[in-house]
Amino acid sequence: MNIPDLASLSDGVLAGDRRAMARAISLVENRRPGARDLLAVLYPHSGRAQVIGVTGAAGSGKSSLVNELVLELRRRGHTVGVVAVDPTSPFSGGAILGDRIRMRDLAGDPGIFIRSMATRGALGGLTAATVDAVVILDAAGLDRVIIETVGVGQDEVDIARTAHTTIVLQVPGLGDDVQALKAGILEIADVFAVNKADLDGAEQLVAQLQIMLDLNSVHTGVNGWRAPILQTVATAGTGIPALADALTAHWDYLQHGGHGQAQARAHAERLLAETLAREAATRLRQAARDRGQWEPLVDQVTARELDPYTAAGQVLAEWYGRG
């Protein structure tokens, strides 16, 4: 992309132009030339939005909850972006008919911008593209950006780590979810939403979560934040205002008392480290290709004559030696 195009695109994003925003996200998603320059221009204008991660298993009613939450945040005067990285989300095209109809209501509102991300690609690519998309929406002036993910895999944990506030959905009667919860999701939850709270077992699930929080000292420090456990019935809109209140409370908590600054620094360091890893890998591989070193190394690793660690060491040694 040439400089005038880049300038007009970044100007468009900063002015909140929807077509420019969509084009900018496509650019970073596909790692097109110019993506890096665009982000370099936009990044200093970002950092104002509250980034909210929402994760939960398929079938937890996450789509309905995000939908209602967006409407509630709009009622409170916020502008809202949604980045859906969930292949089952209606925002990603995996909608059942009812979701699609509901979604259309959101799409007509100029204070809402919805974008789905591809869930396939290179290692680490999804997280990077999601982070970049959030920077774009943030720089465009949206003051709440929701990242919607499914499940409790490494991706979701990585993506949650880039949010300011993470909502974890739980549903009564899904034993597997509780298992996944035990496996470590306590670390990433700032707010629990027990959705479908009109089902049997909701009170039991809430009690179980309370006990877990009690046992987990990370969440019970004197000056710490203890994740509230809210009951919602998203399809009926029940509990959504309380959920929005909890988001505000966590945002206030981050702004006051230095927690937000520490979190911002941790986010920045991770972002820098990941960007560095990607850039270094791309350049090193290209350099090894250019000097004819790459293909023979791949052949040797394929034939198991050489292990990948030794082979990688050879590429690095060559680069060091270049001066």
Name residue 134's amino acid.
Answer: V
Task: Select from 17, 143, 245, 274 the one that contacts its own copies (CB under 8 A).
Answer: 274
The interface region with its own copies, picked from 140-148, 170-178, 189-197, 233-241 by CB under 8 A, is: 170-178
Tell the smallest beta-carbon distance from residue 246 to its own copies (Å): 24
What angle is formed at CA 12 by the lines to CA 10 and CA 13, rounded to 5 degrees? 65
- Looking up tokens 């209606």 gives 90
DSSP 226: P
**C-beta closer to its own copies: residue 74 or 294:** 294
163 in contact with its own copies (CB under 8 A): no
Scanning residues 302 to 321, which ones bind its own copies (CB under 8 A)?
Answer: 302, 304-305, 307-313, 315-316, 320
Tell the smallest beta-carbon distance from residue 69 to its own copies (Å): 20
Q: In terms of C-beta density within 10 A (0-12 exposed, 13-18 middle, 19 or more buried), how is residue 238 classed?
A: middle
Task: Select from 268, 286, 291, 296 the one that contacts its own copies (CB under 8 A).
Answer: 268
Please name the residues in contact with 134: beta carbons below 8 A apart, sequence gap of 6 or more: 46, 49, 51, 81, 83, 145, 147, 162
Scanning residues 233 to 252, which ones bind its own copies (CB under 8 A)?
Answer: none
What is the C-alpha separation between 168 and 185, in angstroms, rounded?
8
Task: Select from 30, 32, 59, 105 the one that contacts its own copies (CB under 8 A).
Answer: 59
Could you tell me which of 136, 133, 139, 155 has the C-alpha nearest to residue 29? 133
**C-beta closer to its own copies: residue 19 or 101:** 101
228 in contact with its own copies (CB under 8 A): no
Could you tell me which of 17, 51, 44 has the C-alpha nearest to residue 263? 51
Count of residues for the chain? 323
**C-beta closer to its own copies: residue 67 or 92:** 92
Tell the smallest beta-carbon distance from residue 110 to its own copies (Å): 26
Scanning residues 95 to 114, which ones bind its own copies (CB under 8 A)?
Answer: 96
CA 63 to chain CA centroid, Å, is 15
Scanning residues 103 to 162, which ones bind its own copies (CB under 8 A)?
Answer: 119-121, 123-127, 150-158
Tell the smallest beta-carbon distance from residue 191 to its own copies (Å): 20
| Helices (H), ranges, the chain | 3-14, 18-29, 35-42, 62-75, 97-107, 125-139, 154-160, 175-182, 202-215, 240-255, 259-290, 294-302, 308-322
**C-beta closer to its own copies: residue 36 or 226:** 36
Task: Select from 18, 32, 285, 291 the one that contacts its own copies (CB under 8 A).
Answer: 285
- Sheet of 165-170: strand order equals 112-116, 80-84, 144-150, 50-56, 165-170, 191-194, 229-231
**C-beta closer to its own copies: residue 87 or 141:** 87
**C-beta closer to its own copies: residue 119 or 238:** 119
Tell the smallest beta-carbon distance from residue 319 to its own copies (Å): 8
| Lookup: tokens for 111 | 């204070």
Tell the smallest beta-carbon distance from residue 55 to its own copies (Å): 11
**C-beta closer to its own copies: residue 17 or 318:** 318
Task: Select from 26, 173, 276, 286 the one that contacts its own copies (CB under 8 A).
Answer: 276
Helices 18-29 and 125-139 sit at what angle, rounded to 10 degrees? 160
What is the C-alpha separation between 202 and 61, in angstroms, rounded?
14
**C-beta closer to its own copies: residue 43 or 253:** 43
**C-beta closer to its own copies: residue 109 or 274:** 274
